[in-house]
Amino acid sequence: MGNLYFPQLSSGALAQYPIQKARIVPTVKNVMLDGNMWLCPGLSLNSHASRMVWELSYSALSQVDAQALQSHFSACLGPLRAFTFIDPTDNMLVASGDVTKSSWQKGAIQITSGVADPQGGSQATVLTNTSQANQQIVQTLNVPANYQYCLSAYVTCTQAATIALLRSGSAASDSTSLSVGPNWTRLVSSGRLNDPGTTLTAGIMLAPGQQISIYGMQLEAQLQPSRYRSTGQVGGVYTSAHWATDELALIATAPNSYSTSFSIETSL
């Protein structure tokens, strides 16, 4: 069986609001002989006992979107087969605020962390292209290249400059050139690639000698950016998700209009 990916709606979204999301962590309970009780949250002999659960509800779905959900459910044999799920409430990038991590691929770029950011903190990073050629800082994810994605980042430069945000697959790419200056600006690159591949590379490109401050790199499977969400060792892409239901109930509410609700879960 090939790779399975939760389908994106024809609107360019993965889900509809409201979305309920919960992290379930096991707790070990030890009752002592004197009646005292010791609770150890998060401790379990099973390393995959912690789970993330999404409760999703949809309304006014077109027949095309309803069929896409049903086809995916059938391909997974309900809860049997795992699939890749992009969390519609999170940042897909790993270590979004620390480009020194191994999840980022980078060229000859000097990195200075701990710089003042647009939120009043010190989480921004100064990037300096020390070479005589264009250099990139990008991250590659195992997700469908032809989904609707939105890449965004807050950027500032001491003088007017042009920065390129990149999105590329195995057969197509997009480079969006955007202007920046001395004030923090949220740059956005949004769209679909005509690419049937299952990897997406996203990031930023600097011209020779260029220096910028950057904060809040974010990739989302939707049309426009939402508020920035910082990530650590895990981003919003889950490769071992499962349907948490034995039956997908699609209800016809009007011609070419369907509703449904279900749960998706993954071990952590």
- Are 186 and 219 part of one and the same domain? yes
Residues 120-150: pLDDT tens digits?
Answer: 999 999 999 999 999 999 999 999 999 999 9
Residue 44: the pLDDT is 52
- Are 145 and 70 part of one and the same domain? no
- Are 113 and 82 part of one and the same domain? no
Q: What is the mean pLDDT of residues 63-74?
A: 98
- Is residue 210 a part of any domain in this protein? yes
- Are 85 and 181 part of one and the same domain? no
Residues 101-121: pLDDT tens digits?
Answer: 999 999 999 999 999 999 999
The answer to whether 258 and 185 are in contact (CB under 8 A) is no
- Are 149 and 190 part of one and the same domain? yes
Q: For the whole model, what pTM was predicted? A: 0.91
All residues at 6 or more sequence positions from 213 whose CB lies less than 8 Å from its CB, including other chains: 115, 124, 125, 126, 127, 155, 156, 157
- Is residue 34 a part of any domain in this protein? yes
Residue 163: the pLDDT is 95
- Are 83 and 129 part of one and the same domain? no
Domains in the chain, number: 2
- Is residue 4 a part of any domain in this protein? no
Residue 1: the pLDDT is 44
pLDDT surpasses 70 at 79: yes
- Is residue 26 a part of any domain in this protein? yes
Range in 33-37, 231-235, 261-265 the model is least confident about: 33-37
Residue 145: the pLDDT is 97
The torsion angle over the Cα atoms of residues 137, 143, 146 and 148, rounded to 10 degrees, is: -80
- Is residue 2 a part of any domain in this protein? no
For the domain that residue 193 is a member of, what is the CATH number? Answer: 2.60.120.260
Quote the domain boundaries for residue 208.
105-233
- Are 198 and 157 part of one and the same domain? yes
- Are 118 and 227 part of one and the same domain? yes
- Is residue 42 a part of any domain in this protein? yes
Percent of the chain surpassing pLDDT 70: 96
Amino acid letter at 253? T
Both tokens assigned to 49:
């006992």
- Are 227 and 242 part of one and the same domain? no
- Cα gap 53→48, rounded to integer Å: 13
- Are 32 and 77 part of one and the same domain? yes
Residues 179-193: pLDDT tens digits?
Answer: 999 999 999 999 999
- Are 66 and 164 part of one and the same domain? no
Residue 37: the pLDDT is 81
Predicted confidence band of residue 50 (pLDDT cuts 50, 70, 90): confident
- Is residue 99 a part of any domain in this protein? no
Percent of the chain surpassing pLDDT 90: 87
Residues 204-246: pLDDT tens digits?
Answer: 999 999 999 999 999 999 999 999 999 999 999 999 999 999 9
Rounded to whole angstroms, what are the CA distances from 21 to 39, 51, 85? 24, 11, 13
Classify burial at 197, counting beta carbons within 10 Å of its beta carbon; exposed 0-12, middle 13-18, buried 19 or more.
Answer: middle
- Are 138 and 154 part of one and the same domain? yes
Residue 68: the pLDDT is 98
- Is residue 12 a part of any domain in this protein? no
**More confident: 41 or 10:** 10
pLDDT surpasses 90 at 2: no
